[in-house]
Amino acid sequence: MYLIWLLKSALVKYFCGMQILDGKIVSQSVKDQLKARTDALVAAGKKQPHLAAILVGNNGASETYVASKVKTCEAIGFKSTLIRLEDSVTEAELIAAIDKLNADKDVDGILVQLPLPKQIDDEKIISLIHPDKDVDGFSPVSVGKLVQGLPTFIPATPYGILMMLEHYKIETKG
């Protein structure tokens, strides 16, 4: 992860005339905006947004990433649920967990943390997440909507980069 960040930083510095873009500043700005919007929703008597994350196994990087999501949800006023499954989980058990979350009207977004154990077909699992709850934007339906320019969730890394460019008012072409 750190290596990817360094590479992105180097590219951004190169393409932006050595202007350093601080992702932490942008991230905090986005969190502040989301917190205000969430507080307004709740104050208006509307539903508190709810993200459910499924973490399979004990991958250190995955643990850190999901813990960050749970912490961010708390900071911006979202409800979050973390479902931990052993790396010995069967595909059928994971499918049942996703089906339950898809049917749960209280859950607005579902994140299945990758990688999954070798006995589980990642693509099959991702395709089972209802497109309206696919916060990663990885399902075939979500990717198709993105390609067609239709409203959908955008994968986090490219969307974060777009938000950073927008924050710093950097024009892009193409």
Q: What is the pTM of this model?
A: 0.82
- In this prediction, residue 156 carries a pLDDT of 87
Q: What are phi and psi of 46, to 5 degrees?
A: -90, 170
What is the side-by-side order of every strand in the sheet holding 79-85?
A: 79-85, 50-56, 109-112
Q: What is the pLDDT of residues 84-129, one digit of tens each?
A: 999 999 999 999 999 999 999 999 999 999 999 999 999 999 999 9
- In this prediction, residue 147 carries a pLDDT of 92
Q: What is the pLDDT of residues 6-55, one digit of tens each?
A: 556 655 555 656 678 888 999 999 999 999 999 999 999 999 999 999 99
**Axis crossing angle, helix 23-43 with helix 156-167, rounded to the nearest 10:** 100
* pLDDT band of 66, cuts 50, 70, 90: very high
Cα(91)–Cα(103) distance, rounded to whole angstroms? 18
More confident residue, 168 or 103: 103
Cα(94)–Cα(100) distance, rounded to whole angstroms? 10
**If DSSP states are collapsed to H, E and C, what string results for the chain?**
CHHHHHHHHHHHHHHCCCCCCCHHHHHHHHHHHHHHHHHHHHHCCCCCCEEEEEEECCCHHHHHHHHHHHHHHHHHCCEEEEEEECCCCCHHHHHHHHHHHHHCCCCCEEEECCCCCCCCCHHHHHHHCCHHHECCCCCHHHHHHHHHCCCCCCCHHHHHHHHHHHHCCCCCCC
Cis peptide before 115 (omega within 30 of 0): yes
Closest CA to 86 of 119, 50, 48: 119
CA angle 32, 38, 40 (to 5 degrees): 105
